[in-house]
Each structure stands twice: as C-alpha cells, then as structure tokens.
Structure 1
Amino acid sequence: MVFFALLVGAELDGLTNLQPRGGCDDPSYPYYFKLRCESCGETSAKTTCVSLDEVVQLPTGKGTANLLQKCKLCSREGSVVVIPGQGTPLTAEQSQKGEMTCLMVFECRGYEPIEFAFGNGWKAESHACYGFIGVLIISLFFKVHGTPFDIDLSEGEFDEYDEKGECPVALSKLQSTFKVVKKQGFHGKTRYV
C-alpha cells in the first residue's frame, strides 16, 4: 500500500479558503482522477470517481475501500481508500507564495492516482479588498467574514464580482499533483507527511 496526498494550488485574486463545497472532508465530494496500474503500467482511459460516502467490501472480506477496480489490460484488482482529516483549504497567503495545500490523502493498493480533474462543487470566500493595512485594522476590531462563492472549476478558472466587498474576485492557474507521503504518529494522532 502507498499513501498519496492530493496537493492543489491556484492563483487566487481576492479569494481565500478554496476547498470542496462541504469542506475538505466532504463525504459526497467526488474526486476525479485517472489511475495507473502498478502491475502493468496501463493508465485508465477515463477518469475514475472516488468519494468518502461510497464504500465497498474487499473481496478478501477483510476491510473496505472507497473504490475497487480491475485493470482493463492485466485484470489485476486494486483499491483506493480515502483518508479524511488531512486536508486544509488553499488560503490567499499560500497562493501568493505559490504554495500548494494537501486536500486529501488516498491509500492505494495496486494503483497510482494521476491527473486530478477539477470540476464543480467548490467554494471560497472573498478576501477583503481593503488592502493589507485596512484588513489588519478591521480584523483587530471586528470579526471579518468574506462573501462566500460557490465555484465551478470545470473550465479551470473563476471570475466574479463581490458586491459586498465592492471588488472583483478571480481564480486561475489551477494546478494539482499527487505526492507519496508516509504515515506517522504525532502526539497521538496520525499524520501523513
């Protein structure tokens, strides 16, 4: 078994906290990506959908997975388990630094996830349009909440106007990658680094 972290990044303009609509651990959010068979190297022609709320029994009867699939070329069976509790939203600060955030971790047996496909079902909120000093002053005295936006990333970008904050907001240059991570215990909790 190998653990893969899905890392996502984007250029956020006036937005912060990009994540699936129901949060990083949204049980019904469908993760779409292709799978590469570790046995023969064949890559699936179509994207595969995996979500937390879809659970299947493993053929051995020992445990469950969120996806069980056979390779079309070599017929070897593999599985994917979605591991919640590891993801964080992409913030404006991370975006400005060109950093990516871990959205989800997948335990894969027999497959390697590749080519994540962004789709519908995302959310973000406006990141104050007052400039850094204005945000600092306002946040010292008031609890600031941005305008929430439901976002469809199927086209790879988002462009809207925040009426409340009176400024344009945009998202572009989406990127994603899968990174092999290791399971570690840390202060009584499991982390993947």
Structure 2
Amino acid sequence: MVNFMLMITADFENIASLQPQGGCDDPNFYYLFKVKCGNCGEVSQKETCVTLNETVQQAKREVHLLQKCKFCARDGTVTMIPGKGRPLTSELAEEGKYAPVMLFDCRGYEPVDYIFGSGWSAESAAGTKYEGIDLSGEDFSEYDEKGECPVMISNPRSKFEVVK
C-alpha cells in the first residue's frame, strides 16, 4: 500500500485561493487521472474517475476504485482519504509551490497524469467567489466588479507525491 497526494499549483492574477467546489473533501467532486499498474507498468488508456460518494465493496473494505489491469489482469484499488487537502493560496502559487488536494491509498496501481476538469471554485483578492470553474481547457478569466480588476487562473499543473 502506497499513499499518493495530489498536489496542484497554477498562475494567479488577483486570485486569493483555488480549491474543488465545496472544499477539498467535497463528496461530489470528480478526480480524473490515469493509473499505472504496479505489476506490469501498463498505463490505462482512458482516465479513471473517482469521487468520495461512490464506493465499491472489495473483500472486507470499501474502495473508490476497483479495476483490473487490461494487460496482466491483476486487480488494483484506489481509496480516497479525506481531511488531508487544503486550498491553493496566492502565497503558494506566487512561490511556485504546490498545495495538497486529496490523498489516495493505492494498492496495485499508481495514479499518473491528473486531468483538470470542471467543478473548481476560487476567491478573488477582493473576496468575490467564483464557482463551477472549468480548468480543462483555456485559462479562467473574469472581471471582478468588487475589486475593479481582472482575475485569472492560468497554467494549472499537478503532480502526485508519495506520502509515508
């Protein structure tokens, strides 16, 4: 069993924080990534989707993903561990540092290539809240009436770090 922390960063303009809508432990937020088999090294062709509110029974425990490797037929599981994430703040983003979002307990698989999608929320430096942000394509940009300035989130990046 190895734990992997999803870490994110982005470039901000007049943004104070970014996180999954409803917080890092939002049960309805979907995490999309590919998985690499720990046995044969095969990386899944399609993205895997996991969310806190969907579980599968595996032996004597519940997991968020139970999947068989298409190459070697070995089972692998991914279990999400809430309570370890926090928003990406402007201070972290300005320093080029990453913020932890979600912890994954992986058995037989390793998460790779996180895919940013929709369902993100941000708060501007002036306190305006933005919800339903889609980071899958172009940059997010708006005009903050309250702060009388443009706001933008660009160049979202992610990595998975092994956590002991």
Query: Where on the TM-score scale, by shorter chain, does this alignment land: which range?
Result: over 0.9
Matches within 5 A, 1:84-95: 84-95=82-93
Max radius of gyration: which structure? 1
Question: What percent of counterpart residues are identical?
Answer: 55
Residue 39 of structure 2 aligns to a residue in which SS?
Answer: coil
What amino acid does structure 1 have at the position aligned with 2:17?
A: N
Stretches of 4+ moved more than 4 A in 1? Answer: none
Q: Structure 1 stretch 152-161 or stretch 36-45: which is displaced more?
A: 152-161
Residue equivalent to 1:33: 33
**Bigger helix fraction:** 1
Deviation, structure 1 residue 22: 1.0
Structure 2 CA distance for partners of 1:159 and 1:167, relative to 1, 3 Å: same
Answer yes or no: is the 8 Å Cα contact 1:156–1:174 preserved in 2.
no
Residue 93 of structure 1 aligns to a residue in which SS?
Answer: helix
Residue equivalent to 2:4: 4
Residue equivalent to 1:20: 20
Matches of 1:31 and 1:124, distance apart in 2: 17
C-alpha RMSD of the superposition: 0.8
Deviation, structure 1 residue 154: 1.2
Instruction: Work out the number of aligned pairs and report it.
Output: 163
Matches of 1:96 and 1:56, distance apart in 2: 39
Residue 91 of structure 2 aligns to a residue in which SS?
Answer: helix
What amino acid does structure 1 have at the position aligned with 2:20?
A: P
Structure 1 runs not aligned, ≥5 long: 129-145, 183-193
Deviation, structure 1 residue 156: 4.6
Per-residue CA deviations over 1:91-125 (Å, capped at 9, x if unaligned) read: 01111111100000000000000000000000001
Answer yes or no: is the 8 Å Cα contact 1:20–1:122 preserved in 2.
yes
Residue 93 of structure 2 aligns to a residue in which SS?
Answer: helix
Normalised by the length of structure 1, the TM-score is 0.83
Matches of 1:160 and 1:82, distance apart in 2: 32
Matches of 1:156 and 1:4, distance apart in 2: 27
Answer yes or no: is the 8 Å Cα contact 1:35–1:113 preserved in 2.
yes
Matches of 2:43 and 2:155, distance apart in 1: 25
